[in-house]
Amino acid sequence: MNISKKHNSLRKTHTIGKNTAERIVTASQVNVMREFGITMLGISQARNGFAFVRDDHNVFQILACLSGHGQVRIDDAWQTCSSNQAYLTPADILHAYHAPKRGTWDVCWVMYEQTQWLERLPIDKPVLVDLQVQPIHAAISCLHHEVVGANDPVIIRQWVGLIDQLIQRACESNQKPSRLWQLWQAVDMNLASKWNNDRLAELADLSSEHLRRLCQTELGHAPMKQVTQLRMQRAGILLTTTDMLIEQIAHAVGYDNAFAFTTAFKRQNGRSPTDYRRASAKTQR
């Protein structure tokens, strides 16, 4: 690999590296991808030797990092692309990226026909943005599994459509990026914890007042109300998909006892957990 720091000395490069593992799906394999303007997509567990320099690539590409870190070219300088970041590159514009000499840069990527993206995301140079990568990575993995496995065209169409929607949402949200999605993801993974405004602010690395203002701007309500909503969503899932006792569900979503949980659930949903479970059972018969 011969990539220098000077713009005019970047040499066209396209190497995968002998230790890089890839899963790839192309429009020639899956014709329905053409309907969404997607030419190719995949997942790369990139290692040393994975390097690209291109200035005549006639597609829009999103290269998103799940874990590890690599280097991407922005405004004639190298920047680190790490977890939950994506490198967006318009067609026929010089762009470059490469994996580190040590370690793995786990990325997923989707290539679109440029005309599909001129109106969606009118960028004229490579940019590095923050976004939630895991759902996109998971959907691409599932699509690849289906293509090399059962190869059901109905399911394949659903996966391709989902990938396109996830990419579109990610790029649209980048225009008004949320600063709090990582916070709510962490809360949702640990709903039983004793959350309060101070703990939320500390996790978000913000002052309590700044967090309150951001929540009001992005969500229209206070931080702890968002915690309550996440708890009630999970409680609804547990009530309808498990045989857990109300007391057990209460503890699982962060309440000290069944009475406190029932009061909060009824306030949020207009019915008690027991009535909610009974009504759900009737609709599933």
Per-residue pLDDT at 178: 62
Q: Which CATH number fits domain 7-175: 2.60.120.280, 3.30.365.10, 1.10.1740.10, 3.20.10.10?
A: 2.60.120.280
Which of 120, 115, 139 is closest to 38 using CA atoms? 115
Encoded tokens for 276: 């909610």
Cβ 60 vs Cβ 90: under 8 Å: yes
Instruction: Name the helix (H) or strand (E) containing 276.
Output: helix 273-283
- The label of the residue with tokens 């679109």 reads 112
Please tell me the CATH superfamily of domain 181-283, with its number. Homeodomain-like (1.10.10.60)
- Compute the distance between CA of residue 221 and CA of residue 253 in angstroms, rounded to an integer: 20
Q: pTM for this one?
A: 0.68
Per-residue pLDDT at 155: 95
Cβ 21 vs Cβ 114: under 8 Å: no
Averages of pLDDT over each 10 residues, the chain, 285 residues: 48 92 96 94 98 88 96 95 93 93 97 74 84 93 96 95 90 62 89 96 94 91 95 93 94 96 94 91 63
For the stretch 178-227, pLDDT in tens is 668 789 989 999 999 999 999 999 999 999 999 999 999 888 999 999 99
Mapping DSSP onto H, E and C, the string for 173-216 reads: HHHCCCCCHHHHHHHHCCCCCCCCHHHHHHHHCCCHHHHHHHHH
Cβ 203 vs Cβ 154: under 8 Å: no
Encoded tokens for 155: 């399911």
| Sequence ranges of the chain with CATH classification 2.60.120.280 | 7-175
Dihedral sign for Cα 78, 79, 80, 82, please. negative
Per-residue pLDDT at 1: 45
* Amino acid of residue 29: Q
- Compute the distance between CA of residue 41 and CA of residue 17 in angstroms, rounded to an integer: 18
- Compute the distance between CA of residue 281 and CA of residue 276 in angstroms, rounded to an integer: 9
